[in-house]
Structure 1
Amino acid sequence: MAQQQSQSDRHLGQARRAFFEQGGAPVGKVPDTILRSWLRCQRSGLAAESAPHIEPVPAARLKEMRERHEKLWRLARAELELLSSDAAATGSIVILTDEDGWILDAEGSASFLDRAGRVALMPGACWNEAQVGTNAIGTAIVEGRSVVVHGGEHYLAPHGILSCSACPVFDPYGLQVGVLDISGDSTVRHMHALGLARLAVANIEHRYFDEGIPDAELLRLHRDPALLGTAREGLLAFRGGRLIAANQAGLQLFGLERSELGRAAYTALFEDALGKLRDDGVLLDRQGRALYGRVEDGQARPKRPAARPPITVSSAVAPPSADAPLFDALLEAELGRARRVLDAGLPVLVQGETGTGKEVFARELHRRCTRAGKPFVAVNCAALPEGLIEAELFGYEDGAFTGARKHGNPGLLRQADGGVLFLDEIGDMPLALQPRLLRVLQERELSPLGGGKPVKLDFALICATHRELEAALGEGRFRPDLYYRIAHHTVRMAPLRAHADRATLVRSLWQQLGQGRQLMPDAQAQLAAYDWPGNLRQLGACLRTLVALSEPSAVIGVELLPSYLHDVRPLAPTSSAVGKQTPAASLEAMAEAAMRQAVADCGGNVSQAARKLGISRSTLYRRLGQGAHGRHA
């Protein structure tokens, strides 16, 4: 692999010299997409050796851009969340831009970049090809299709440190509305990055149809009925017998291009009349293929919910199995204690790293408590736009502010009346709003914005955060009085690296997600050996990705695992035949090693390492002190 990369880098170096120094056109030496982009950049007068100056726009301008592209940002948030843990683990960053290359959102880790590079990949920066040369985002916009730009394929030499994979996002009518990009260190081969970007974009484009196509008949079709309802189903909307909207899967069913939207006729694509699909759930196309599905009228059917917003109101629901913690004896005991506290009218605080299953724990707690079946209102305090948190939480009267909904809004606290209010990521709640929340929790009464009669409230409170609130207290980022109001009973969700039997956990999740595929023992061992900084969410995302990238009945070995798992050493067997070290002792050693590595990664800053590990500073001092004592004894 290293030899192939070295040879590829040599060929690329030769191609750059031929183009930039000798004025030649290295046809066949670089992908045609890259060569076309180089020629465009050269004609525009860009200097290849110049240092790019990319500065994010001011916060007010970024806010305006996000509001203008609110639908794209909202429909893409679930995919950014899903990819962020995997990106952070591989030193990559997931980027969402608008149709002109302005970054609307970015998640993951840009630690491989210097400060200037990190600034260049922040929301508000622009990666249009005309401004910064050949790059995956800008070139995907120009080409209108997926693009990978690796290392020296970037036009500007300083961008050679990047490896970028971008896929454009199209709305149902064929208009390009944005780009999703995964960027990382060019010294690392990000084999699955483009596949992951395409999967994410397919999900985003699928969600664009959830609210229906007005005055049109929407066909949901696939040759395999098992794939109906997924992002792989073909979506085609007809108005007056003409195809006016479609997703990529729908276009591919018939070999159509987006330019044919508005022109292709229903009768040119299908043998059967539309009534056949309504009556029988199947119809034949002009090639004689049977396509399964259904028809939805734009006006007659109820609108499907859009992408999951930062606020959800529901009764108790089953936890998503892929991200759910295993409710073993320890967690069952925690649930029992937390239920008694909640039923006594006292709040519960759930703490743990991102991806450990805090919301799943909260939903299970709701399902078991005396308020089960009553509303469960989940609010992600980190995902709500800061300017809307107060209005959404506390409600407002008609005309309370510009843009306020007519007849006002009762607010989420009132929607939780009688049930459970779940404030996720409460550690990210703006400091200015904390006193108002504290007052509501103390008095169980709220006054909507813009006046109005105070309303009495009755709800149970569960809060969750990945932050160490004790540290936030000392830094003045969280009010002590609010902390002591919500932390009557604290539950700590352990990180996945502390799980005593990750191998069994991997097997259990694969049984739920594998859909008949076989996971080879060496691949299972590799998965079990990894520390999973994104915890169960990252592990679940990895397993779902393996399913998406493989065929049914596939046998999955280590070669199909993501690149960040290839250098992981499988855990040694813990049986007595191998040695006298017990599993518990091995786990202690792994935990101590993880702690020492975290301290090293944080440059010796114990407080920062403790926050990274999700434990208190005193615990970290104590555990490392015991480990040192054990070695010196």
Structure 2
Amino acid sequence: MNNPFFVTRQERVALARQRYFEEGILPTGVVSDAIFQSWTRCHRGHHKSQDRIEFQPVSISRSQLALQKNRVLHEAWLSEMPALGNALGSAHCSAILTDATGVLIGATPANHMEQRIIPIAHRIGVNLSEAYVGTTAPGIVARTGKPASVWGAEHFNDAVSTMYCTAAPIHNIQGQLAGILDISSEGIPFKFDPSSVVGLYAASIENRLLMAQSTDLLIVKFQFLPAIIDTPMVGMIGFDLAGQLTWLNSVASQLLSLSVVPEERPQCSVNDIFEVGFDQLASQVGHGFHAQQLRNGLQVFTTCTLQKQGGPTHLAKHEAPPTVSTPTAMVTDILPHSPSSARPVDMADGYLPASSLKQADADLIRKRLTEFKGNVSQVAKQLQVSRGLIYRRLQELGIDAALYKK
């Protein structure tokens, strides 16, 4: 580094690292605090940046134990791995899954001949924690539980300074770190935002894990738009059959300002989160999307599933949920008069641009009248409500069904 001018970020980071290790000058403003703290831990652990990294796998027995202990997590990874591999395409990237300690338990194939580190480092059983390989994205996540990126010279060891890696945490139903998803590139900086990609797929794996670990829970999925409820961007909450919050995923944590860690949040029930009670939510199981008001003022769309052992259970029509002691009106028997009521939503309604729920009801009824050529009986049957209710709503909304007859 005889050149007095350091133009690229990698050159500036390399210089800052050299000055920190050799002269004790803090790399303020050059690297993130997470990377600096990792450097400090490695330095205190008597690591040297010139040390050779062997990437030796842990013992066979420990590898087998890691796979056995994380069987459900690994199955969730296997479900997402084909799509993740296709998404990365020819981007010269590899994806890996580690357990909470950084031991690798899953990897996409390394298929680029010019890669020298990835084929060795991305093997089942290799320990990627700070104690073994210094500063890496998976190592930081294993230590802090927070997303991390480590690019090029930000790595502690010179031997891996050609690597670029971004990792995100995956939590279990106890809110604990269950695993780490990482995307790495060797020798070539990312030409896309890896944090967005790894964040989405980590969320998808986390959602699969949470569902697989849930037994006898009411699972509520929610988001602002029905169209994204079946995506990794969905908020998910698990309530026990007494209506108490058991877990929530990372998206729900952000939307509700509640920690995924039970010890770091107050005890919550359905009524603390939604404007409706447990019985009303339970009655929505198997009946599509509903508009709901959250206690924090947000309005969202929800869909509910009763998760039993072996998979989700959809209650038969008119069958009361097992925890409902008294008969409750089915939500699909109601077209609401107030924003706090739940209303069934047809996915064909898309983003529901209506300015109010009343207008949304009118749009939905008009759409069905058009579809069934003004036949009120067919409209009521399709919406699973009584004809009398449809006639009352037509009168309130000023809609003439005869105009739709052809």
Name the CA shift for 1:210/1:135 in 2 (closer, same or farther; >3 Å): same
CA contact (8 A) 2:172 2:209 kept: yes
Match of 2:250 among 245, 248, 251: 248
| Aligned-partner Cα distance in 2 for 1:105–1:299 | 28
Q: CA deviation at 1:299?
A: 4.2
Q: CA deviation at 1:144?
A: 0.8
| Aligned-partner Cα distance in 1 for 2:135–2:309 | 47
Name the CA shift for 1:264/1:227 in 2 (closer, same or farther; >3 Å): farther
Matching of residue 290 in structure 1 with residue 299 in structure 2: yes
Q: How many residues get paired?
A: 302
| Aligned-partner Cα distance in 1 for 2:309–2:64 | 36
Q: CA deviation at 1:235?
A: 0.9
Name the CA shift for 1:42/1:301 in 2 (closer, same or farther; >3 Å): closer
Q: CA deviation at 1:61?
A: 4.7
Q: Which deviations, in whole Å up to 9, do the C-alpha atoms of 1:265-300 show, x marking residues without a partner?
A: 134333332344456733322232222213333449
SS in 2 for 1:258: coil
Q: CA deviation at 1:117?
A: 5.4
| Aligned-partner Cα distance in 1 for 2:57–2:126 | 4
Query: Match of 1:45?
Result: 46
Query: Match of 2:128?
Result: 127
Q: CA deviation at 1:218?
A: 2.1
For normalisation by structure 2, the TM-score amounts to 0.67
| Aligned-partner Cα distance in 1 for 2:97–2:247 | 23
Matching of residue 274 in structure 1 with residue 278 in structure 2: yes
Match of 1:265 among 264, 268, 276: 268
CA contact (8 A) 1:184 1:190 kept: no
| Aligned-partner Cα distance in 2 for 1:258–1:66 | 24
Q: Which deviations, in whole Å up to 9, do the C-alpha atoms of 1:14-66 show, x marking residues without a partner?
A: 31122111112212111111111111211222112211122124556534432
Which residues of structure 2 form unaligned runs of 5+?
A: 1-5, 285-289, 314-349, 352-406
Matching of residue 89 in structure 1 with residue 90 in structure 2: yes
Query: Match of 1:164?
Result: 165
SS in 2 for 1:184: strand
- Counting aligned pairs with the same residue, the percent is 24
Q: Which deviations, in whole Å up to 9, do the C-alpha atoms of 1:483-512 show, x marking residues without a partner?
A: xxxxxxxxxxxxxxxxxxxxxxxxxxxxxx
Alignment of 1:472-491 (within 5 A): none
Q: Which deviations, in whole Å up to 9, do the C-alpha atoms of 1:511-569 show, x marking residues without a partner?
A: xxxx99xxxxxxxxxxxxxxxxxxxxxxxxxxxxxxxxxxxxxxxxxxxxxxxxxxxxx
| Aligned-partner Cα distance in 2 for 1:194–1:108 | 21
Q: CA deviation at 1:103?
A: 1.0
Instruction: Give the letter for the 1:126 counterpart.
Output: N
CA contact (8 A) 2:243 2:278 kept: no
Q: CA deviation at 1:212?
A: 6.5
Query: Match of 2:345?
Result: none
CA contact (8 A) 1:167 1:198 kept: yes
Q: Which deviations, in whole Å up to 9, do the C-alpha atoms of 1:96-151 show, x marking residues without a partner?
A: 1111111112213253333x653222112110112211101111111212111000
| Aligned-partner Cα distance in 1 for 2:44–2:64 | 34
SS in 1 for 2:261: helix
| Aligned-partner Cα distance in 1 for 2:212–2:31 | 42
CA contact (8 A) 1:276 1:282 kept: no
Query: Match of 2:341?
Result: none
CA contact (8 A) 1:150 1:186 kept: no
Q: CA deviation at 1:79?
A: 2.2
Alignment of 1:227-626 (within 5 A): 227-239=228-240, 240-260=242-262, 263-266=266-269, 267-278=271-282, 281-299=290-308, 303=312
Query: Match of 1:424?
Result: none
Query: Match of 1:205?
Result: 206
| Aligned-partner Cα distance in 2 for 1:68–1:211 | 14
For normalisation by structure 1, the TM-score amounts to 0.44
**Could you say what the CA RMSD is over the residues aligned between the two structures, in angstroms?**
2.9
Name the CA shift for 1:64/1:277 in 2 (closer, same or farther; >3 Å): closer
CA contact (8 A) 1:91 1:112 kept: no
The runs of at least 4 aligned residues of structure 1 exceeding 6 Å deviation read: none
SS in 2 for 1:208: helix
CA contact (8 A) 1:270 1:284 kept: yes
CA contact (8 A) 2:222 2:301 kept: yes
| Aligned-partner Cα distance in 2 for 1:135–1:302 | 37
Query: Match of 1:363?
Result: none
| Aligned-partner Cα distance in 2 for 1:251–1:215 | 22
Instruction: Give the letter for the 2:92 counterpart.
Output: G
Query: Match of 2:383?
Result: none
| Aligned-partner Cα distance in 2 for 1:91–1:171 | 30
| Aligned-partner Cα distance in 2 for 1:299–1:63 | 29
CA contact (8 A) 2:216 2:309 kept: no
Query: Match of 1:65?
Result: 66
| Aligned-partner Cα distance in 1 for 2:113–2:127 | 20
SS in 1 for 2:164: strand
Name the CA shift for 1:19/1:102 in 2 (closer, same or farther; >3 Å): same
Instruction: Give the letter for the 1:264 counterpart.
Output: Q
SS in 1 for 2:96: strand
Query: Match of 2:101?
Result: 100
| Aligned-partner Cα distance in 2 for 1:156–1:167 | 21
Alignment of 1:116-155 (within 5 A): 118-155=119-156
Q: CA deviation at 1:192?
A: 3.0
Name the CA shift for 1:245/1:121 in 2 (closer, same or farther; >3 Å): same
CA contact (8 A) 1:168 1:201 kept: yes
Matching of residue 196 in structure 1 with residue 197 in structure 2: yes
CA contact (8 A) 1:218 1:238 kept: yes
CA contact (8 A) 2:275 2:293 kept: yes
